[in-house]
Structure 1
Amino acid sequence: RPVTAALAGVAMSNETEYPGALDIAGYNYTESFYLPDHKKYPSRVIYGSENGHSFDAWKAVRDNPYIFGQFLWTGIDYLGEADSWPSRGFSAGLLDLGGFVKPRGYFRQSLWSDKPMAYIGTYPLVQDNEKTPSIDALPIWNYDANQTVRIVCYTNAAKALLELNGKQVGDIQDYNHQTGIIHWDIPYQAGKLEVIGLDKGNKKITRYAIQSSRQPDALTVCHVEKAIDKNKRLTQIIIQVVDENGVPVLLSDNEVTCHISGPAKLLGLEAGNITDMTDYTDNKQRVFKGRLIAYIQTSGEEGEIKVQFSSPWLKSTETIIQVANSDWTNLLDENLSQWHIYQSFENMEPNGKPVLSEDNTIPEPVGYDKNKRMCFL
Structure 2
Amino acid sequence: MIQVKNNCNIRILIYIIILLISGQLVSCSQTVQNKTRERVSIDFNWKFQLGDNQKAFEENFDDTSWRVLDVPHDWSIEGNYDANNPAGISGAFLPVGIGWYRKNIEIKNLQDDDKYFVEFDGVYMNSEVYLNGQLLGKRPYGYISFSYDLTPYLKEGENSLAVRVDNSEAPSGRWYTGSGIYRHVWLTKTSNVYVPRWGIEVISTIVSKNSATIKVKGELKNETGKPQKIEVVSRVLDALSNEVALVKNDVSIDDEGSFNQEIELKNPRLWSPENPAMYTLETKLFINGKLRDTYNIPFGVRSIELKGSKGFYLNGKSIKFKGLSNHHDAGPVGSAVPDDVLYQRLKMVKNMGCNALRTTHNPFSPEFYTMCDTLGIMVMDEAFDGWFKAKAEHDYGNYFKDWWQRDLADFIKRDRNHPSVVIWSIGNEVRNFQSEDQKIIVDFIKDIDSTRPITQGSGYSAPYIDIAGFNGHGENKGALEEYHEEYPNKLIIGTEMTHTLQTRGVYRTKTWYRTKDNPAPWEKPAHFKKMEHKVYKISDLSNNEVFPDITRKYQSSYDNSIVRIGVRDDWNRVENSDYYIGNFRWTGFDYLGESFGWPARTANFGIIDLAGFPKDHYYLYQSLWSDEPMVHMLPHWTHKGKEGVKIPVVVYTNCDSAELFLNKVSLGEKEMTAERQLVWHVPYEKGELKVIAKKSGKNICEQTYTTAEKKHALVLNSNKVNIKANRTDVVRLEVSVVDANNIMVPDANNDILFSVTGPGKIIGVENGNILDLSPHKVNYRKAFNGKCLLLVQSTGSKGVIHIKATSNNLKSSEVKISAN
Supply the distance in 2 between the matched residues of 1:296 and 1:100 (Cα, whole angstroms): 17
Q: Of 11, 16, 21, which aligns to 2:464?
A: 21
Are positions 1:3 and 2:446 aligned together?
A: no
- 2:486 is matched with which residue? 40
Matched to 2:496, the amino acid is: E
Are positions 1:273 and 2:769 aligned together?
A: yes
Q: Of 636, 642, 658, which aligns to 1:160?
A: 658
TM-score if structure 2 supplies the norm length? 0.35
Matched to 2:629, the amino acid is: P
- 2:694 is matched with which residue? 198
Q: Of 723, 737, 752, which aligns to 1:228?
A: 723
- 2:749 is matched with which residue? 253
Supply the distance in 2 between the matched residues of 1:202 and 1:297 (Cα, whole angstroms): 48
Superposed CA deviations along residues 242-275 of structure 1, whole A, max 9, x for unmatched, are: 1011111111111100011112221121111111
Supply the distance in 1 between the matched residues of 2:698 and 2:780 (Cα, whole angstroms): 48
Give 1 or 2 for the bigger CA radius of gyration: 2
Matched to 2:458, the amino acid is: L
Supply the distance in 1 between the matched residues of 2:693 and 2:702 (Cα, whole angstroms): 6
- 2:271 is matched with which residue? none
What is the DSSP-based 3-state SS (H/G/I as helix, E as strand, rest coil) of the residue aligned with 2:621? helix
Matched to 1:101, the amino acid is: P
- 1:304 is matched with which residue? 800
- 1:365 is matched with which residue? none
What is the DSSP-based 3-state SS (H/G/I as helix, E as strand, rest coil) of the residue aligned with 2:776? coil
Q: Of 680, 698, 702, which aligns to 1:184?
A: 680
Matched to 2:694, the amino acid is: L
What is the DSSP-based 3-state SS (H/G/I as helix, E as strand, rest coil) of the residue aligned with 1:94? coil
What is the DSSP-based 3-state SS (H/G/I as helix, E as strand, rest coil) of the residue aligned with 2:763? strand
Matched to 1:23, the amino acid is: D
Q: Is the 8 A contact 2:586 2:605 kept in 1?
A: yes
Q: Is the 8 A contact 1:141 1:193 kept in 2?
A: no
Supply the distance in 2 between the matched residues of 1:189 and 1:174 (Cα, whole angstroms): 25
Matched to 1:112, the amino acid is: W
Matched to 2:455, the amino acid is: T
Supply the distance in 2 between the matched residues of 1:222 and 1:145 (Cα, whole angstroms): 32
Q: Of 600, 609, 613, which aligns to 1:96?
A: 609
- 2:152 is matched with which residue? none
Superposed CA deviations along residues 126-154 of structure 1, whole A, max 9, x for unmatched, are: xxxxxxxxxxxxx3433422122110111
Q: Of 728, 733, 755, which aligns to 1:237?
A: 733
Supply the distance in 2 between the matched residues of 1:157 and 1:270 (Cα, whole angstroms): 34
Supply the distance in 2 between the matched residues of 1:176 and 1:87 (Cα, whole angstroms): 37
Q: Is the 8 A contact 1:233 1:300 kept in 2?
A: no
- 1:173 is matched with which residue? 670
Q: Is the 8 A contact 2:718 2:731 kept in 1?
A: no
Matched to 1:64, the amino acid is: S
Q: Is the 8 A contact 2:754 2:803 kept in 1?
A: yes
Q: Is the 8 A contact 1:142 1:213 kept in 2?
A: no
- Structure 2, unpaired ranges of 5+: 1-449, 501-565
Superposed CA deviations along residues 319-341 of structure 1, whole A, max 9, x for unmatched, are: 111211xxxxxxxxxxxxxxxxx
Supply the distance in 2 between the matched residues of 1:141 and 1:161 (Cα, whole angstroms): 20
Supply the distance in 1 between the matched residues of 2:491 and 2:645 (Cα, whole angstroms): 50
Supply the distance in 1 between the matched residues of 2:754 and 2:606 (Cα, whole angstroms): 27
Number of residues of Structure 1 aligned to a counterpart in Structure 2? 297
Supply the distance in 1 between the matched residues of 2:768 and 2:783 (Cα, whole angstroms): 8
Are positions 1:51 and 2:51 aligned together?
A: no
- Structure 1, unpaired ranges of 5+: 123-138, 325-377
Supply the distance in 1 between the matched residues of 2:465 and 2:697 (Cα, whole angstroms): 48
Q: Compute the displacement of 1:224 (Å).
A: 4.2
TM-score if structure 1 supplies the norm length? 0.76
Are positions 1:283 and 2:775 aligned together?
A: no
Supply the distance in 1 between the matched residues of 2:628 and 2:607 (Cα, whole angstroms): 18
Supply the distance in 2 between the matched residues of 1:79 and 1:284 (Cα, whole angstroms): 20
Q: Is the 8 A contact 2:638 2:746 kept in 1?
A: no
Q: Of 644, 655, 673, which aligns to 1:146?
A: 644
What is the DSSP-based 3-state SS (H/G/I as helix, E as strand, rest coil) of the residue aligned with 1:220? strand
Matched to 1:172, the amino acid is: E
Are positions 1:114 and 2:610 aligned together?
A: no
- 2:712 is matched with which residue? 217
Supply the distance in 1 between the matched residues of 2:692 and 2:638 (Cα, whole angstroms): 17
Superposed CA deviations along residues 41-96 of structure 1, whole A, max 9, x for unmatched, are: 11112111111251222222111111111110001001001113321112111111
Aligned CA RMSD, in angstroms, stands at: 1.5
Q: Compute the displacement of 1:39 (Å).
A: 2.0
Q: Compute the displacement of 1:283 (Å).
A: 1.2
